[in-house]
Amino acid sequence: MENIKTLIENNGTRELQHALTDMNNIDVAECLNELDNQKMLMVFRLLSKDDASEVFSNLDPNLQQHIIEMFNDTEVEALIKDVFLDDTVDFLEEVPAAVVKKVLKNCDPKRRDLINKFLNYPEDSAGSIMTIEFVDLYRTITVAQAIKRIRSLKIDRDTINTLYIKGKSRTFVGTLAIHKLLTADDDTIIEDIMDKQFISVSTDDDRELIAEKFRKYDLTSIPVTDKENKLVGIITIDDIIDVIDEENTEDFQKMAAMSPSQDTYMKTGVFSMAKNRILWLLVLMVSATITGNIMTAYNKVLESAVILASFIPMLMDTGGNCGSQSSTLIIRGLALGELSAADSVKIMFKELRVAIVVGLALVAAFLIKSAILPPAISMSVAIVVSISLFLTVIIAKLIGGTLPIIADKFGFDPALMASPLITTIVDTCSLFIYFNVATRLFHLA
């Protein structure tokens, strides 16, 4: 890559063109993404026609936009013709209306209609991520005829790995893996070797559900059908990996109390980043008023036994950590489909047992630590802290284990019930327990 940059600096056009031909197109796109617009365009123009369309598909939307803006109509037409439909749609979703218009103007009418249709599918639906580059065959033809047909097609994509079989009135009836076709006898009828237990989705199915099916059935592509059971497109696994990555990023962000953002860290502006973070911080800050009020209500206790205050951070942190451990496991289990609302009783019981083991271990550690390290504390303070610590762990694990399940049951995203919210709730409970144990059981104030 350094080599390429040197060649660009030195205007070594000839060597540059050679070097580009030898490179993987995705690496070329990565290089171009790092150049300024002018140099990027200079290099892009050096690419062969075939490479140009693949490199274009892998560029950042702002560079794609710049290329379309600088190209004349003939150039746009030649470029866009060779870009896969799903990649064209992906990029048109990101650029201003003027650029969309210029691209559509330079498409043939059939393709223009298709693009418009695809742009109208709801975001995150099967329709929005499918492609129409697939091969379909009638079920009545023979293997030899099918192979002949496939060999005569100009297919430049690996979507041939599964063939889609249609019956009467072009309804979708089955799938056929290419290895089955190739290893069958010439005279065999397609219908006899096709797979009728295929898995399919419909255009408005959610992409998360589709990822679920790829995962479960180890698919590499899935057919998308319309309401009349006709095949309208297929979804390939490379797009599903992107979906899985994006869904995971969303969960990570929600679990850290942020509004999810599709852009990468470097590409998100300071203000939109601040905006994503402020809402939840405000909600949680205002909720912490309750904890503050508990502290205020027990001002007298703190005044007369100020030593109690020094254990508050430890209790709050431990409670928050215990709760977020449980909620993380449950949220992840729900996301991967390993857990469901039906398991809630089992989960509660398991969390209770784990909490008892963890709680006892922590209390033991606390008592040992107090005996060895300063500050020296009285027996009654040690007991008050121990009881509060144990109860905090139990409550934290039960709340952390239950809230994500409840959220899921009521149609909210379980990822919202993660560390920050759980911490705020558990803090309230643990302070309440702490002061009550101190005053009522031990009359420390």
Query: How do beta strands 201-202 and 221-225 pair?
Result: parallel
Helix (H) or strand (E) holding 247: helix 237-255
Between 104 and 174, CB nearer to its own copies: 174
- Least gap, CB of 443 to its own copies (angstroms): 19
How large is the C-alpha radius of gyration of the chain?
30
Q: Give the DSSP letter of residue 36.
A: -
Give the footprint of its own copies on residues 357-396 (CB under 8 A): 357-358, 361-362, 365-366, 369, 373, 375
- Binder of its own copies out of 98, 274, 371, 441 (CB under 8 A): 274
Burial environment of residue 4 by CB neighbours within 10 A (0 to 12, 13 to 18, 19 or more) = buried
Helix (H) or strand (E) holding 235: strand 231-236
- Binder of its own copies out of 9, 108, 187, 218 (CB under 8 A): 218
* Distance from C-alpha of 329 to C-alpha of 61, rounded to nearest angstrom: 36
Between 107 and 398, CB nearer to its own copies: 398
Give the footprint of its own copies on residues 134-173 (CB under 8 A): 147, 150-151, 153-158, 160-161
- Binder of its own copies out of 46, 114, 119, 178 (CB under 8 A): 178
Of 2-10, 120-128, 179-187, 201-209, the window that binds its own copies (rule: CB under 8 A) is 179-187
* Residue 34 three-state SS: coil
Between 6 and 272, CB nearer to its own copies: 272
For 271, half-sphere exposure in the C-beta direction (CA atoms, 13 angstrom radius) is 0
| Closest among 355, 360, 359, 385 to 371, alpha carbons compared | 385
Between 97 and 270, CB nearer to its own copies: 270
- Least gap, CB of 437 to its own copies (angstroms): 18
Considering only the C-alpha atoms of the chain, give the largest distance between any 2 of them, rounded to a whole number of Å: 95
Determine if residue 105 is left, alpha or beta; phi over 0 gives left, psi from -120 to 50 gives alpha, anything else beta: alpha
Between 164 and 366, CB nearer to its own copies: 366
* Distance from C-alpha of 339 to C-alpha of 157, rounded to nearest angstrom: 37
Binding mask 65-104 for its own copies (x = CB under 8 A): ----------------------------------------
Give the footprint of its own copies on residues 300-339 (CB under 8 A): 302-303, 306-307, 309-314, 316-318, 320-322, 324-325, 327-333, 336, 338-339
- Binder of its own copies out of 46, 277, 367, 383 (CB under 8 A): 277
Q: Does 220 bind its own copies (CB under 8 A)?
A: yes
